[in-house]
A = this chain, B = another copy of it.
Amino acid sequence: MSEQAKQKNGHLVIIGGGEDRKHDMEILSRFVELSGGASARIVVITAASQIADEMWHIYDGVFGTLGVKERAHLEITSREDANSEDFVRKVGEADGIFMTGGDQKRLLALIGGTAMDAEMHNALKVRGATIGGTSAGASAMSGHMLAQGRTDLLPEKGSVSLGAGLGFLHRVVVDQHFSERQRLSRLLSVVAQNPYLQGIGIDEDTALIIERGVGIEVVGEGAVTVVDGRSMSTNVAEIKDRATPELIDVRLHLLPAGSKYALPDGQEQTGKRVPPQLLDFLENVTKRTTLS
């Protein structure tokens, strides 16, 4: 483990898919930097993908270009792999852990609840490592994971199903390719039926970076949309499946790239005010949850 990582609070780099891997590589380069720079040990988990080798080849190339020497592919094709001493040790030594795109259900089926999963929590929460994920790897980060759902023009009762995610974040659900695939109605479907989850929609080539206990930042080309239904009034419990619910007073926040917010404790450093209506979201996602 590099010296830098030892002093860190732990970061999540949650990417909406389609991050630039050829030109400025802004987001992946931030992931490397947060992991400790060129001296960081970075492992890549391709388990979400059915073309794991190709994925590894791509990210091996990018992280190599960004100067990282110690790169490893955790090629997981079974839960046995994810419980194996070798892979758990590699995660235990990593400064940066990156999860590629693919299918978040596949990823969870392979690594959810394994020794490697536990070691990833240890890496983030105890050692202050950086965990990055793009597309499916982004959706997998929350405790309640958007598993699948149609994207219709309007929200519909019962059109989205949740699954158990990795749980680096709680009380949120993450969707990706958000503006590009017009997924607001899908995220509203989730929030309508699960009002205690705040919806986080992340655009392509855009990342929500969370530093535990400190603050958040939006990096890249698009924006992060937050949908909060906790104060809403809805008839979703009374309508039938596939009907569109009435939703009154959903709170929506749009955080474009460049947005940066620190918890009030850390504000002296940044001088940036946190809009009071965002504070609760900020406190939730930066919360230093413990190993369970």
Binary per-residue interface labels of chain A (230-245) against chain B in the complex, 1 for a CB within 8 Å, 0 otherwise: 0101000000000111
Complex copy number for this chain: 2
By the criterion CB–CB under 8 Å, are A256 and B245 in contact? yes
A130 to B31, CA, bound (A): 60
Chain B nearest CB, measured from A273 CB (Å)? 9
Residues from chain B with a CB closer than 8 A to the CB of A203 are 153-154
Q: Which of A222-262 contact B (CB under 8 A)?
A: 222-223, 231, 233, 243-257, 259
Say yes or no for A4: interface residue by CB 8 A criterion: no
A289 to B248, CA, bound (A): 26
Say yes or no for A70: interface residue by CB 8 A criterion: no
Residues from chain B with a CB closer than 8 A to the CB of A244 are 223, 254, 256-257
A179 to B183, CA, bound (A): 11
A245 to B243, CA, bound (A): 33
A250 to B252, CA, bound (A): 5
Say yes or no for A180: interface residue by CB 8 A criterion: yes
Say yes or no for A138: interface residue by CB 8 A criterion: no
Residues from chain B with a CB closer than 8 A to the CB of A291 are none
Chain B nearest CB, measured from A228 CB (Å)? 9
By the criterion CB–CB under 8 Å, are A248 and B278 in contact? yes
By the criterion CB–CB under 8 Å, are B254 and A246 in contact? yes
> Given B179, B233, B248, B253, which contacts A248 in the complex, CB threshold below 8 Å?
B253
> Given B246, B259, B276, which contacts A246 in the complex, CB threshold below 8 Å?
B259
Say yes or no for A182: interface residue by CB 8 A criterion: yes
Say yes or no for A292: interface residue by CB 8 A criterion: no
By the criterion CB–CB under 8 Å, are A248 and B223 in contact? no
> Given B155, B253, B278, which contacts A254 in the complex, CB threshold below 8 Å?
B155
Residues from chain B with a CB closer than 8 A to the CB of A257 are 244
Residues from chain B with a CB closer than 8 A to the CB of A255 are 246
Do A254 and B247 form a contact, CB below 8 Å, given A184-B184, A222-B153, A277-B233? yes
Given A153-B179, A231-B277, output 13 extra A-B contacts at Cβ < 8 Å.
A153-B203, A154-B222, A154-B254, A182-B182, A188-B254, A243-B256, A244-B257, A245-B256, A247-B254, A249-B251, A250-B254, A251-B252, A252-B252
Pull 18 A–B residue pairs with CB atoms less than 8 Å apart, ordered by A: A154-B179, A154-B222, A154-B256, A155-B254, A184-B184, A188-B254, A231-B277, A243-B256, A246-B254, A246-B255, A247-B253, A248-B275, A249-B252, A249-B253, A249-B275, A249-B278, A250-B254, A252-B252
